[in-house]
Each structure stands twice: as C-alpha cells, then as structure tokens.
Amino acid sequence: MTQDFRLPDLGEGLPEAELVQWLVAEGDTVSLNQNIAEVETAKAVVELPSPFAGTVQKLHHAAGDTIDVGDVIVTFAVAGEAGDAAAAPAAPAAQEAAPAAQEGAAEPEEEKATPNLVGYGAAPRKNARPQRRTRMARADGVASTTDTAVLEAAPHDAIVEQPLERPIERPRSTPPVRKLAKDLGVDLALVEATGSTGLITRADVEAYAARIQVTSGTAELNERGRDAASVPAAAGDERVTRRPIRSVRKATAEAMVRSAFTAPHVTTFQTVDVTATMELVASLKADRSLEGHRIGVMAVAAKAVCLALGRNPSLNAKWDDAAGEIVEHHYVNLGVAAATDRGLIVPVIPDADAMTLTELADAIGDLAAVARSGKTPPSAMTGGTFSITNFGVFGVEAGTPILNPGEAGILGLGTVAHRPWEHDGEIVLRDVMTLSLSFDHRLVDGAEGSRFLVDVARVLEQPGRAMLLR
C-alpha cells in the first residue's frame, strides 16, 4: 500500500518551506526516522525524518521548490494493512497524532521516541549522523550523470540506466554553500575541498566558478577567432546577479519593515569608559577555574541589561494593540542578534535575568555556534522581550538598530577603542565604547530610555556596581 507524507508545520505557524536537497531518491528503502530531506524555513534549516518505513515511490518536488505546509512531498510504498499505518501523521494536523505513530518503532530502552519536529517524528539516536544515499560511479571514475540528477534535483522521471560498480561519497558541504553552488551553476561533485576537514567551502565554490567562467569564455572567443583582451565587458543581465528573496532574508525584511512602520523608533547614544570591564574580562580569562567559559564584553553587557531592565520595566514591555494594553514582562527573554550566511537571526535566551555571568556567557556562545551551523530551531527565535546586538565586532562605533517586532528596546554595542579620555582629572588613554539604544516611543519616554542607558553604562564603567543593583 502507499502512504503520502505531507510537509508538517515546522513550528510557529510558518506557512511554507524551501526544499534544500533530498537525502534519498526514488526507489530507495528508508527506515523509520531516517532523514530524507533538508528544508529551509524563514528561520532555520531543518532535516525531515521519515514517518514511515518503506520504499520511496515518488518525490513530488525538486530542490529549490517552495512547498506549502500540508502539501504532499513524498509517496511511500509501505508493507502492512491500512490499519497499521493509520496512526502515521498527516501534517499539519500531525501534532496530536505523532506519539501514537511511534509506539511500534523499535528503539533502545534508554531512548524513547519523542517528537523532534513540531508535528511528527521520533528523536534521533545519540551520535547518529544523517543517512545519505551514496552516489555511484563507473569503473572509469566518471560519475553517472543521470544518478547525479536524481540526487541533486530529484526529478520525478529520472532513471539510472548506466551500470554502477562502486559507490562514491556525496560531496560534503553546508546548505548555504550548496545554494551558492546552485546559483552559480556549479556541480559540487566536481569541486575539490581545499581544507583539512574535507568540507567544500564557499571559497572552493567561488574559485571553481571563476575557473570555469574563464575557461568557457576563452573557448568561446577562440571559436570566434578574436583576442580575449579586445572584448568589452559583458552587457545586460551578465553584469548583475539576481537571487530570489527567500527564507531568512525575506522574513527579516518583512519584520524590519513592519517594525519600522508600526513602532515610532527613537535612538539615543552614550559613550562609556569600559576600562574596568575590560580588566574584569581579562582577569576572568586568566582564571583557570573558569577555563572553557568565554566571558567577554557581550556577556557583561547582557548582565548589565538584565539588571537595568529590572529598574526600568517600560523597556521590557510590549504594545498590545489588539487588546489595547501595555504588557510588562517580569522576566527577561534576551534576544541576541547573530549574523549568519543565511541572514540576520535573533535567537533568545529564556529567563536571562536569572542567570549568572558565566551562564550568560555560555548561553551566548551556544546560540552563536548553533546559529552559524544554520540549525537554530524556530522555537528558539520567539518570545523575546528585549534584544542586544554587537556591531562592534565589525569595527563599527555606533548605529541605529531597528527593534525586533513586539519588543520595546534593543541595545547596540559599538567597538571598544583605546582613546584619550578624562580620568581622575587627567587626560589618559582608556578603553571606550559607544552604546546605541533604540526604543519604541509609544512605550518608553525619553527620560525612561535615558535612565536605562545610564544604568547600563554605570555597570560597564564600574562592574562592581552590579553588586548594588537588584
């Protein structure tokens, strides 16, 4: 019998997802919870585990397609009676059916099946790696072009006709690099990884694209009998690159426009002598008992923000237009802006105000690592009450950050610079940083915003003052 697998709700009501790549092909036999595809939502890249054990009968979409939640993406041929598969989920209504579908799954006793995506699926076993279908090559070392098409684009009518003799591993790369290769028309199977890890990088793809562009351009000129040096620059569309507006970039743009045109933004600045904070950070880094904890200026600033929000609750509130209410939060879910290859995302640290400085530093480090990998789940980017962004890492002194929708404030940290500064009646070199606070003027008056910024500045000027605040 056959079973259709529909794209489930991947969290937070996201209506669609883009298919990054298939990890299986038509005719493959898959096991329950084997990862079959990678999809990219407006917030994260997610691997889809199979809700069935059986044979892939039909792939309904190709890499690059945008798929609506609830659309059929795979049809499986499965064994057993219809009643046996009745418990299998059919998204988006799969949220309630998922536990029942997993009862018959064979799992080690110490690892029980629990959903790892909203709507369906069992938790992957520890240390498990995504199961990818190997590509095949002929004995002469040339990969089958038909088989490559099956894996890269998953056409519905693809047939592997050539005799296959030995498997070769699928090129290893990250989703952003695979997307870049697709945009440039580069076959990753032909790209050589230059790094020691064997992972194909963005630089590898760009270098290969440049080589084939030069080669093809030279060949064309030779055919026409012209000297390459005499040819003018390419005209028309060849002089521009067009990329579809999708995923994180699309979601970020919509959120920023919505924020800019619904909340009246005001930005105020404060330049701070952070020499004492830098000395504290240096002493903590030298403390062997804190080895492994990367406590930096960002963590100290996050702690200062949490303390200042307790004294200035209007900055930790939201404007509920529908209810006609101002909602003040008695906790701090701190958003930390992270720049990634896919665009800007703002994962959230829940209950940051209850954390120690060390715990905050660890949480910030973990968020950054997951964000760089592109695996931040949608649920980790919701529920924020205030945000912080560090454009100082790019050497920028100050800016006017835009509010995360639904929040009353965002603090930007500028670069730390060694400058002449008045200290104890003398001009000396000190470590100086500029703070940029943007706030929603519907919720926060200028006086309240100024008091908040001064409170943060005082903690950074004299970290010992944090002992006096609550």
**3-class SS of residue 383:** coil
Please report how the helices 175-184 and 202-224 are oriented relative to each other, as an axis angle in degrees rounded to 10: 10
Q: What is the DSSP string of 173-225?
A: B-HHHHHHHHHHT--GGGPPP-STT-PBPHHHHHHHHHHHHHHHHHHHHHHHT
Distance CA 55, CA 30 (A): 6
Round to whole Å and give the CA distance between 435 and 454: 10
Is the Cβ–Cβ distance between 53 and 30 less than 8 Å? Answer: yes
Contact 116, 49 (CB under 8 A): yes
Q: How many CB atoms lie within 10 A of CB 307?
A: 21
Q: What is the DSSP string of 385-398?
A: SEEEEEGGGGT---
Cα–Cα distance for residue pair 353/333, rounded to 1 Å: 8
Confirm whether 330 is a catalytic residue: no
CB 403 within 8 A of CB 388: no
C-alpha–C-alpha distance, residues 437 and 447, integer Å = 13
With CA atoms as reference, report the closest residue to 103 among 76, 79, 122: 122
Q: What span, in angstroms and rounded, lies between the C-alpha atoms of 390 and 147?
A: 46
Using DSSP's 3-state secondary structure scheme, residue 343 falls into: strand
Which residue type does 24 have? V
Distance CA(307)–CA(316), nearest Å, equals 11
- 139 by DSSP, 3-state: which? coil
How far, in Å, CA of 244 to CA of 364, rounded?
Answer: 31
Q: How many CB atoms lie within 10 A of CB 464?
A: 10
CA angle 259, 265, 270 (to 5 degrees): 130
Summarize the chain as % helix, strand, coil (round to 5): 35, 25, 40
**CA atoms of 353 and 88, how far apart (whole Å):** 42
Task: Using DSSP, state whether 328 is helix, strand or coil.
Answer: strand
The H helix count followed by the E strand count for the chain is 10, 21
Q: Which residues does the annotation mark as catalytic?
A: 441
